[in-house]
Structures are given as structure tokens and as C-alpha cells.
Amino acid sequence: MKKISTIIAITQLALCPVLSAQSTLDELIAVPLSNPGERGTLEINLVNGSIEVIGYDGKEVIVKAIAKKDNSENDEEHGHRDRDHDRDNDREKEGLRRIPSNAMEVEVTERKNKVSVESNSWNQGIDFYVKVPKNFDLQLSTVNSGDIVVENVNGVLELNNVNGEVTAINISGSAIIDTVNGKIEVSFLSVNSDTPMAFTTLNGNVDVSLPASVKATFKMKSDRGEIYSDFDMKVDQSGPQIDRSNKGGFKVTIENWVYGKVNGGGPEFMFNNMNGNIYLRKNK
């Protein structure tokens, strides 16, 4: 009986044009695809907030959005909202408390199996928890106060953060991942045989696990850290590069890239950071 009620709940979710969820912070949207069962794309671009995407054995994209709580009644803690206040304005607020607001607006659009999420996350921090069918491409980005986490997804993954980590576990396919302040942690179950990949951060470790049989050419650079790996690589340290320009002059650049061919070489996988180590591991 319990199962039946669950099914009823789900159909209601799918059919009802208007749902009201009184006094809860989290909202759920189940988005059916135009071509269920076929590969789709999920695009989320945030300013403030985290994104977690998990692959599951379903055919819908389920989006859950949670507004980050704003509990402060104190204006000082919201200095950024109040940058241009003047003295009159301060006097006006005397004896008053600020009511914390969590006004969230989220729009999810589905077109030809592409699901795009837009929101007011530039103003109100929002954390997204999304379930996608396992074969799905992802284009995810955020800037502040959040991490990107991806699990159990097979596809082309473009994951982009600025002040936060990027974690991708049990993924397949290919990935281009970058962040500035945060570590990158990735574990592949399998990789596309012909696609180049890149993993870049400025401050943080780059830790990538790959299948032992992967055929690739690693291109690695850690400005202030070390590179560790248990892959057997034919390492080739690049020498000075000379660019002759057709204006008669020439430029010598010294690059500290380390190239390593794994299992005979293949598409280029780039690993790059400045502060932090690079770990390239074989799947056990």
C-alpha cells in the first residue's frame, strides 16, 4: 500500500500544474525529457551556491532547489547589501530589525532533451540537488560559496567552479574541470578513447583516478607542488620552446610541462595547478 501511495504522489507531482509546499525551504521539480531514454544535457550556471548531480536509473531530471538560509537580523552582517547607505538611511533604520529573506526564483526549461536551470542565485544563494538519467552530459558552473559534486554519470562533463571544490566520482566519458580556489577530485570508471581532457586549479590538489588500461598522453605542470603517479609513463620534460614570428624576431619560452605517455599514448590529458600536488592514480 505504501508503494501505491508513493506512485500516486509521483503522478500528482507530474500532473499538478501548481503545487504548494507550505513552509518548507526545498522545492522539487520533476522534468520529463522530450525523448526519454536518450542522452540529454543539463546546464546550470550559478553565482552563489552548490551543485550536486547524481546519475540514477530513471528517465526524468529531478531538480531540488534549496535557498541558503539567511538568518541574520543584523544589518552589519549584510554589509554587502548596504554598500551605499548614508546617515539618513541609518537613522531611518534605528530601532528596527531586518527581516531575513529567502526569496528564490528558479526556472527550469526543457527543450529537445536539454534541461537548463536559471535562477536568482546572484542575489540569493541556492543549493541545487539534481538527479539525472545515467547517460547525461553536464555543463555546470558556480562562482561562490559552493562546491560541485557529480556522481554516477556517463557523459561529457564540463565542470567549472571558482571559489570551491569540484568532485566527480564514479564517472565515465570525458571531463573538463576547472576551479581557482579549491581541489579537484575525480575518479573515472571508464574514459572515452579519443577525447582530450583537462583538470586545472590554482590553489588546491588535483587528484585523478583513471582505469589502469587508459591510453593517453599526460601533460602535467604543478608550479609549486609535486606530481605523484603510479602509472608507468615514458616521461619527457619539455625544453625551451622557440617561436619565430614572421616579423623577424623570435621569442623563447621555457615551459615546465612534463609529458608522459601512458600505455603507448593517446589523447592529451592536461593536469595543471599552482599551489598543491597532482596525484594521478590507477584504479585498483
Partner 1 sequence: MKKLITLLTIAIIASSAMGQGYQTIEQNEVTIGVPHNDGILAVLNINGQVSVKGTNRSDILIKYKLKAKPKSVRGIDRAKEDLSFDISKLGDSVAVALNGPFVNYYRGRQHVNINSNDLDYWFICNIDLEVPTNINLEVATINDGNVEIKNITGSVIADNVNGDVSINKMNGQVITETVNGDIRIDFQSNPGDGSNFRTINGNIRTNVPKDLSANISFKSMNGEFYTDFDYLTGETGRVVKDASNKRGIQYKIEQITKVKIGSGKSSLFYETLNGDMFLRKLN
Rg for the chain (alpha carbons), in Å?
23
Return the closest-CA partner of residue 64 out of 44, 35, 40.
44
Minimum Å gap between C-beta 52 and partner 1 is 17
Minimum Å gap between C-beta 136 and partner 1 is 17
In this structure, is the dihedral angle defined by the CA atoms of residues 244, 246, 249 and 255, taken in order, positive or negative?
negative
Using the structure block, give the residue that is written with the C-alpha cell 615514458: 234
Pick the piece of the chain touching partner 1 (CB under 8 A) from 100-108, 167-175, 192-200, 208-216: 100-108
**Is 17 near partner 1 (CB under 8 A)?**
yes
Task: Choose which of 23, 245, 246, 253 interacts with partner 1 (CB under 8 A).
Answer: 23
Number of residues in contact with partner 1, rule: CB under 8 A?
Answer: 43
Cα–Cα distance measured from residue 280 to residue 232, given in angstroms and rounded to the nearest whole number: 11
Cα–Cα distance measured from residue 134 to residue 268, given in angstroms and rounded to the nearest whole number: 26
CB-nearer residue toward partner 1: 82 or 232: 82
Return the closest-CA partner of residue 53 out of 170, 164, 179, 162.
170
**Is 81 near partner 1 (CB under 8 A)?**
yes
**Is 22 near partner 1 (CB under 8 A)?**
yes
**Is 87 near partner 1 (CB under 8 A)?**
no
**Is 59 near partner 1 (CB under 8 A)?**
no
Strands 26-32 and 166-178: unpaired
- Residues lying near partner 1 in the complex (CB under 8 A) are found at 17-25, 27-29, 31, 63, 65, 67, 75, 78, 81-82, 89, 92-93, 95-112, 114, 123
